[in-house]
Amino acid sequence: MWLYLATPVGLYYLLHWYRERQVVSNLQDKHVFITGCDSGFGNLLARQLDRRGMRVLAACLTEKGAAELRNKTSDRLKTVILDVTKTESVVAATQWVKECIGNRGLWGLVNNAGISIPSGLNEWMNKEDFAKILDVNLLGMIDVTLNMMPLVRKARGRVVNVSSVLGRLSLFGGGYCISKYGVEAFSDSLRRELSYFGVKVAIIEPSFFQTAISRSDRHLSHSRILWDRSSSEAKEIYDEKFLLSYLTGLKLLDKMCNTDLSLVTNCMEHALTSRHPRTRYSVGWDAKLFYIPVSYLPTFLADRILFWTSTKPEKAL
């Protein structure tokens, strides 16, 4: 009896394994445009794809970041300076990409650029704090995608958007989680629209990884600035004792961050090179075993779990 049950299950996983390893042809002729290549995931992915022989078009925010990346890669890789919050910069980068690829179209667009500061408690912030993150992580990504889309459609290529487990489960206030929820929504609608043209859209959902935007020292200093700037009423509720407890929680979270960025870039590479890319790539065991499962729980239960694992002001207890 167990043999009858095991056989179809085994065949399913064998077929899944086989599909996962089917690679598109002529990778050396395909161009991939990546945003946010100064450091972190974007930088590693650019070097990874370059070693594989693909033609990488890397967008950096600074000339220093671009120069350092060129020094570590082959002559195939080209760089451009891009600020995703400025439409004129996006338009100029799009024109540059057109000149680089000629009539071949753009095989891959990886929307990786992002920031995470300011983030903290909602009551510590103002509208501009939310807008700063949304301009980069969501509106900037949309602007780049809309400009590059005709080039990707021409190649019947791929769009890879970097979201987060925090696009499934909001753990703290500010614009970061909001922006990642927006990335999820935009990616879903884009995937359905572009499926008619043979374009595939994938979402990368990393858990907590050690990158430039997740450095605890930056978050600690910005949290202190936000608290100092908040209203007297907010400071009375979230007093100095609460602030210290909150900062301690940030330090603990930093220690939990995964340092192996290749776990994420390998998923990005698979989304770009596989004949059968996945719709979503949840990266990190904490994502698979905690954050994603909790996001599927009934809301009241998920809220209760997160409430008891978070820092709370004593006056509210």
Tell me which residues are annotated as active site: 176
Cα–Cα separations (whole angstroms), residue 289 to 282, 293, 294 = 10, 6, 9
List the structure tokens of 75.
């002559």
For strands 173-174 and 119-120, give the pairing: antiparallel
SS3 80: strand
List the structure tokens of 205.
């959902």
Cα–Cα separations (whole angstroms), residue 194 to 75, 152, 197, 266, 300 = 32, 10, 5, 24, 36
Show the beta-strand stretches assigned E in the chain.
31-34, 55-60, 78-81, 108-111, 119-120, 158-162, 173-174, 200-206, 280-283
